[in-house]
Structure 1
Amino acid sequence: MSDSQPPHVNDPNDEQALERIADATPSRLGVGRSGTRPRTSSVLSFRADHARARDAVLTQVSDEAIEEAGLLRIQSRVSDQDEYLARPDLGRQIDDDTAARIRDECVRNPDVQIVVCDGLSSTAVETNVSDLLPMLVDGLEQRGFEVGTPLFVKFGRVDVMDAIGETLGATSVVNLVGERPGLNTAQSLSAYFVYEPREGKPTAKKSVISNIHDDGLPAVEAGAQILSLVERAHEKQGSGIDLS
């Protein structure tokens, strides 16, 4: 029985079945009650996980993590955290000055442009990108792809990859985004992919590999899946439903 999911139901009808179910999922099952209230340990565990989730959303990716990953830092059209949460549309856009800057400072017309966005979990970015990003760059270059200048987008949403890819003339874009944290983990990253990016491209034309974290899809395995996806997409010249 996992220490993180002990069954607390008094006199269960099938204790072994309860243990098997609790071991098979991180969900809060079989937590039991003390009289009419949840047990103290259950309440404390819930509050701790909720605090971690809030921190992941409200804390920003550190300057050190961005520099160590070798990412060129830019920002979406969002000005602060409150606006980021209230205006998802601005998180999908870059302004004219930013567009001009990346044209000047980045590789133009790459085969694959890599973007990292804080999204809704700085924790996911800081936990996973240091392992995943070098693997992707090396793997793509070994397969003969020209990789663009990796970018970090502060206050970035998934579809900012369309604006960036179109601005740089990239054939495709991989966007590593911190996902909305839950009470199970605040470390989940997703890799979104689009072939022939352009602003307004529908979600159905994009692919995603999600649940990247130590207790889900490990970074090493995720890297292999992303590389396979990029190869297949370039071969088929499409992403999302175009790969079906």
Structure 2
Amino acid sequence: METDSIMQDPWISLKAFTTARIALGRTGTAVPLEEVLRFRMAHAHARDAVFSTMDIKGLTTQLQALQLPVLVLHSLAADRYEYLQRPDKGRRLDDASIATLSAAGSQAGSDVAIVIADGLSATAVNRHAAPLLQELLLLLRDAGLSLAPACMVQQGRVAVGDEAGALLQARVVLVLIGERPGLSSPDSLGIYLTFQPRPGLTDESRNCISNIRPEGLSYKAAAGKAFYLLQESLRRQLSGVQLKDNERLIE
């Protein structure tokens, strides 16, 4: 199909401001072939992200360079297929992980536990968890907050952080997790904050910071927002719907 046969959409100038699929144009009554191929590629990237795996070795090396001890854990979901079919199993730790955290938590409680879970996009975790933590750890350490060992949970969902945080006797848990891939963002990372984590909590008990990636919310801005919410959570001893974000976004 010749390029001059494609009718341009009048909104085409807005494409410079978003990665959303807008102003695709048309050829006759159909979407142009180039846009069809781009859609199929984006869909393939999203599917690949769902079935990606955490780079345990690489992440461990990066976190140790940040002077953060690491514990490698696993949820009750044995593999990716069970994880996708049984969301409940992704929310709880297996017996070996519970034993590991029980031993670590018995030593001393901490202000903050950091849990890294693959979620629905390990690609996001592999790309963004370490650079985000590099920014966040500076703020946490400057504030004198004590840190539990970082937990990397394979086949984990958001709620797995509640059990991990409780076993570590942490006052607040921060869960870094790969978000559900979109057709323009297969590598979006999220942070979930929960005060006094324990199994059985639901979403209204958590605060969420979403779309962390260079094309979305920057590492520095996300770290600053997480630190603000963390400070407010510890000061007010709550989180979730009762904890409002009243701070201007840090650029």
Same fold (TM over 0.5): yes
Matches for 1:1-244 after TM superposition, within 5 Å: 10=7, 15=10, 18-68=11-61, 69-70=63-64, 71-105=70-104, 108-244=108-244
- Supply the distance in 2 between the matched residues of 1:67 and 1:125 (Cα, whole angstroms): 12
- Supply the distance in 1 between the matched residues of 2:95 and 2:8 (Cα, whole angstroms): 65
The question of whether the paired residues in 2 share the 8 Å contact of 1:119 and 1:179 is answered with yes
CA offsets 1:206-229 (integer angstroms, 9 cap, x no match): 111111111110111111111111
TM-score, normalised via structure 2 length: 0.87
Shift of 1:158: 0.2
TM-score, normalised via structure 1 length: 0.89
The question of whether the paired residues in 1 share the 8 Å contact of 2:172 and 2:195 is answered with yes
The question of whether the paired residues in 2 share the 8 Å contact of 1:188 and 1:211 is answered with yes
- Supply the distance in 1 between the matched residues of 2:170 and 2:23 (Cα, whole angstroms): 50
SS across alignment from 1:164: helix
CA offsets 1:101-148 (integer angstroms, 9 cap, x no match): 122246631110000000000111011112011222232121011011
- Supply the distance in 2 between the matched residues of 1:237 and 1:62 (Cα, whole angstroms): 35
SS across alignment from 1:214: coil
The question of whether the paired residues in 1 share the 8 Å contact of 2:8 and 2:24 is answered with no
Cα gap change, 1:201 to 1:115, in 2 (>3 Å): same
Amino acid of the residue matched to residue 98 of structure 2? A
Shift of 1:92: 0.6
- Supply the distance in 2 between the matched residues of 1:187 and 1:87 (Cα, whole angstroms): 23
Amino acid of the residue matched to residue 97 of structure 1? A
The question of whether the paired residues in 2 share the 8 Å contact of 1:9 and 1:30 is answered with no
SS across alignment from 1:146: coil
Shift of 1:57: 0.8
- Supply the distance in 2 between the matched residues of 1:84 and 1:30 (Cα, whole angstroms): 37
SS across alignment from 2:110: coil
| Structure 1 runs not aligned, ≥5 long | 1-7
The question of whether the paired residues in 2 share the 8 Å contact of 1:108 and 1:170 is answered with no
- Supply the distance in 2 between the matched residues of 1:35 and 1:64 (Cα, whole angstroms): 51
Corresponding residue pairs, total: 233
Moved segments of 4+, more than 3 Å: 105-108
Shift of 1:9: 6.2
- Supply the distance in 2 between the matched residues of 1:99 and 1:19 (Cα, whole angstroms): 53
SS across alignment from 2:182: coil
SS across alignment from 1:33: coil
- Supply the distance in 1 between the matched residues of 2:80 and 2:202 (Cα, whole angstroms): 26
The question of whether the paired residues in 1 share the 8 Å contact of 2:132 and 2:220 is answered with yes
Cα gap change, 1:185 to 1:109, in 2 (>3 Å): same
